[in-house]
Amino acid sequence: MISTITLDTYKQKINSADAFNLSDSFNGRVGDEQVPLVVQFKERGLAQQFQDGLVPFLTGFVGSLDENSQVTADTGEAVSYVGTSDDIVGLGRVKMNLPGTMFPQEGYFYGFLGLQNADGKRVTTFNIWFHVYGGNPDMFVNKAPFRSELQKVLDQAQILIDTTDGELKAKIQAFDDKIVATFDKWNGDYATIQQNVTGLTSQLADIAQKIKDGNVLTVKEFEDRFAALTADVQKSLGDFQDGNDLNGYFEDEIDEVGGPIPDYARERLDQFTGIPASNLNVGFITDDHHQLSGYSPHSLNHYVYMAAASRRARLDAVVAGGDNINGWFGKQEKLVETRQATSVLANRSAAGTDVYYVFGNHDSGIGQNGNNTPETCLSDTEIKAYYRTADKVYGETRDGDSLYGYKDYSDKKVRLIWLNSFDLPYTLNSDGTYKYDFLTQSGYQNQQLTWLANQALMLPDNTWQVMIFTHCPLPGTFEVAAGQPQLSQYNSDVLVGIINAFQSGTKYSQADASRALPINVTCDYTSQGKAVVIGLFSGHIHRDGQITYDGINCVETSCSLCHAGDIGRTEDTITEDCWDIFSVDTGNRKIHAYRFGYGTDRDLTY
């Protein structure tokens, strides 16, 4: 349903801008996304005054409940719209798509709509009240008719899991996990998939009925029946798009973000088709410092190129290693920059390639360019919303909606872990500024370290290996080698102690309530035994490196950012960008780092 707001124009001057009234208001509901809103001009004369480069905008929305239980805010939100300035002038109307961040929670709030031309002259409405209703409108709807055949198969599998026990339950759970993982990993003809999995639904229902009737289903019978079914599903899902030419995705490559992919980038991307699919392959792009200015040339394009690589090589995952934006400008610019950085990478990576965002010291903007208040910086909640931590898009495991998590790649027997090395409290001083300077202070709080020690590092068995990503390296590693002062990092000794105990299959304990970030961590890996850490991979330092520090293989990747002061980095050439694809051979404990851009390939051992 499209809501319509009619604008009555008149000649009163307010704040040196033409103003116009609203004859209606707008209602929304928590959870709504891209809600169409038609703005209709009752008189077209006002719109005709702004016929050069007319752009509709919307501001004043998004916020939290104040002491009067009303939602108010001072942050704006970019709004997409359908049509051109000619539509506004000729038809007197424009359709906007209202983003989900306008509906954060139940309550009333207000803002205003406006139009602005290329010269910056704008007209705005008086404040308009928005009423956001609570609840999910489809919470009582029977969703079964809308579920795909594959989803129905998994529903039946879950019923079996819930109604059986012992070895058979484990087998059914393994089948369920395998189908989910296969669906996430493979890509094919979904119409054929729907047809083939219909048989799965029928057979699962038959098995469920047999159990219900008290008949015995042996594990051997289960395995025989499901071996064929699993093979059929994998065949239906098809092969991953190894070596898929980008021309199949971007016809003529003129519609890509930032324009056509240049020849120098395409030539290098073409070479990635030979990366062994049998290895664990992880793309790592860090310190892109995307900014709405000339500071970081073509920074959005760098995410485009990484996504393009996922369509050439079999990448299990891509990790955006932090400082995804530069955090220099105001809050509105940071919101736009974060939305661009996350959407460009995640929405263009190949199906079957997971994308995870690591939090860096620039990503909130705290401490950057004098910004040091909630009004000028991004909050933890806002960053999580753009990183989609609560959604767990790729089936990863997180500590609630944390900025850290892990994902198992069972076929490679590797657990990929990413940490938040700027896990600092958002405590405010009495003057309203943040207590901790996220730009120069790093740290890990007790909750994250406890989660790492007692969840993330507890493996299915110790034949698995672990690959850990974080933005900031350990103090005393690469900064010292570069002659730089050591980074201030709270509780890095506890992180090292946990990893060392994991590697040696021993116990570790540390409790200290007097620390700035109090610690009370205990873990025991004696029953798990010795285990292997492939490496602790990080960015932040803006240069390449590898060092063994206290028994931990630490690997650095240089920055994707290119700016005027960089030696050897030139805009509009391959050296403008810089990132790696880590291809891990777990059997031989070797890594080949395929370099895109500035620098060269590297061979690493662990």
Q: Which string of DSSP letters, residue by residue, matches 524-556? A: E-TTT---EEEEEEE-SSSS-EEEEETTEEEEE
93/184: higher pLDDT? 93
Question: To the nearest whole percent, how much of the chain has pLDDT over 70?
Answer: 57
- H/E element holding 231? helix 219-237
245: left (phi over 0), alpha (psi -120 to 50) or beta: beta
Tokens of 317: 């995952």
195 Cβ partners below 8 Å, 6+ apart? 149, 236
Check if the beta carbon of residue 421 is closer than 8 Å to that of residue 487.
no
Q: What percent of the chain has pLDDT over 90?
A: 52
Which one has a higher pLDDT value, 542 or 164?
542
User: Which residues, 6 or more positions from 24, have their beta carbon under 8 angstroms from its beta carbon?
Assistant: 4, 5, 6
pLDDT-based confidence at residue 214 (cuts at 50, 70, 90): low
Task: Kindly tell me if the per-residue pLDDT of 559 is higher than 80.
Answer: yes
Q: pLDDT (tens digit, 9 = 90+) per residue, 475-500?
A: 988 875 444 556 789 999 999 999 99
| Band of pLDDT at residue 69, cut at 50, 70 and 90 | very low
pLDDT at 153 over 80: no
Separation CA 361–CA 438 (nearest Å): 5
Provide the pLDDT for residue 240. Answer: 42
Residue 239 has pLDDT above 90, yes or no: no
Neighbours of 395 (CB within 10 A): 12
Mean pLDDT across the chain: 76
Q: Which residues contact 70 (CB under 8 A, 6 or more apart)?
A: 107, 108, 109
Arithmetic mean of pLDDT, 578-604: 97
Q: What is the pLDDT of residues 507-529, one digit of tens each?
A: 999 999 999 999 999 999 999 99
- Compute the distance between CA of residue 369 and CA of residue 293 in angstroms, rounded to an integer: 15
Collapsing DSSP states into helix, strand and coil, what is residue 157? Answer: helix
Per-residue pLDDT, 556 = 96
End-to-end CA separation in angstroms for the chain: 58
CA distance 37 to 372: 35
Read off the DSSP letter of residue 290.
B
Indicate if the pLDDT at residue 595 is higher than 90. yes
* pLDDT above 60 (res 567): yes
| Contact predicate 125/22, CB 8 Å | yes
Closest CA to 494 of 516, 522, 514: 522
Between strands 545-549 and 552-556, the pairing is: antiparallel
Query: Which of the two residues, 159 and 287, has the higher pLDDT score?
Result: 287
Question: Quick one: pLDDT at residue 316?
Answer: 96
Which pLDDT does position 127 carry in this prediction? 60
288 neighbors 295 (Cβ within 8 angstroms): no
Which tens digit of pLDDT belongs to each residue from 316-370? 999 999 999 999 999 999 999 999 999 999 988 998 899 999 999 999 999 999 9
pLDDT value at position 259? 76
Query: What is the pLDDT averaged over residues 184-202?
Result: 47
Residues 6 or more apart in contact with residue 571 via CB below 8 angstroms? 297, 298, 562
The residue ranking higher by pLDDT, 208 or 413, is 413
Which range scores top for mean pLDDT: 79-83, 142-146, 162-166, 300-304? 300-304
pLDDT value of position 458 = 98
Band of residue 247 on the pLDDT scale cut at 50, 70, 90: very low
How far is 602 from 110, CA to CA, in rounded Å?
55
How do beta strands 441-443 and 488-490 pair? parallel
Cα distances from 232 to residues 149, 180, 199, 235, 453, in angstroms, run 14, 14, 10, 5, 39
CA 7 to chain centre: 38
CA-wise closest residue to 495 among 465, 466, 475, 525:
475
The whole-angstrom distance between residue 331's C-alpha and the CA centroid of its chain comes to 19
Looking up tokens 């989910």 gives 180
Within a 10 A sphere around the Cβ of 353, how many other Cβ atoms?
A: 25
Residue 8's pLDDT is: 45
577: which 2 tokens? Answer: 């960008």
- Please give the average per-residue pLDDT across 309-315, as a whole number: 94
Give domain limits for the chain.
Answer: 3-133, 144-237, 246-605
- In angstroms, the CA 418 to CA 420 distance is 7
Alpha helices in 373-425 (DSSP H): 380-387
Confidence of residue 463 (pLDDT cuts 50, 70, 90): very high
Given a cut of 60, whether residue 424 has pLDDT beyond it is yes
More confident of the two residues 161 and 285: 285
CA distances for 396 relative to 400, 408, 421, angstroms: 11, 8, 19
pLDDT band per the 50, 70, 90 thresholds, residue 129: low
pLDDT higher for 77 or 389?
Answer: 389
What is the pLDDT confidence band of residue 163, given thresholds at 50, 70 and 90?
low
Give how far Cα 527 sits from Cα of 311, 505, 523, Å. 41, 8, 11
Q: For the domain covering 3-133, report its CATH number.
A: 2.60.40.3350
pLDDT band at 119 (very low <50, low <70, confident <90, very high): low
Q: What CATH architecture applies to the domain 246-605?
A: 4-Layer Sandwich (3.60)
Measured on CA atoms in the order 262, 264, 265, 268, is the torsion positive or negative? positive
Q: Return the amino acid letter for 544.
A: D
Whole-number Å distance between alpha carbons of 21 and 44: 13
Q: How confident is the model at residue 65 (pLDDT cuts 50, 70, 90)?
A: very low
pLDDT > 70? residue 96: no
Output the six-digit token pair for 127. Answer: 């404040």
Which of 232-241, 501-510, 541-550, 583-592 is predicted with the least confidence, judged by mean pLDDT?
Answer: 232-241
Residue 285's nearest CA partner among 302, 268, 264, 265 is: 302
Q: What is the mean pLDDT of residues 374-401?
A: 95
> Taking 60 as the threshold, does the pLDDT of residue 254 lie above it?
no
β-bridge mates for residue 526, sequence order: none
Question: 272-281, 428-437, 447-456, 474-483: which range is least confident on average?
Answer: 474-483
227: phi then psi, degrees, rounded to nearest 5? -60, -45
The two structure tokens encoding residue 94: 């424009």
Lowest mean pLDDT among 122-136, 197-211, 493-507: 197-211
Tokens of 533: 């850490």
CA distance 149 to 155: 10
Residue 207 to residue 368: CA distance in whole angstroms: 61
Question: What is the rounded distance in angstroms from the CA atom of residue 548 to the CA atom of residue 484?
Answer: 18
User: How confident is residue 120, by pLDDT bands cut at 50, 70 and 90?
Assistant: low
**pLDDT at residue number 61:** 42
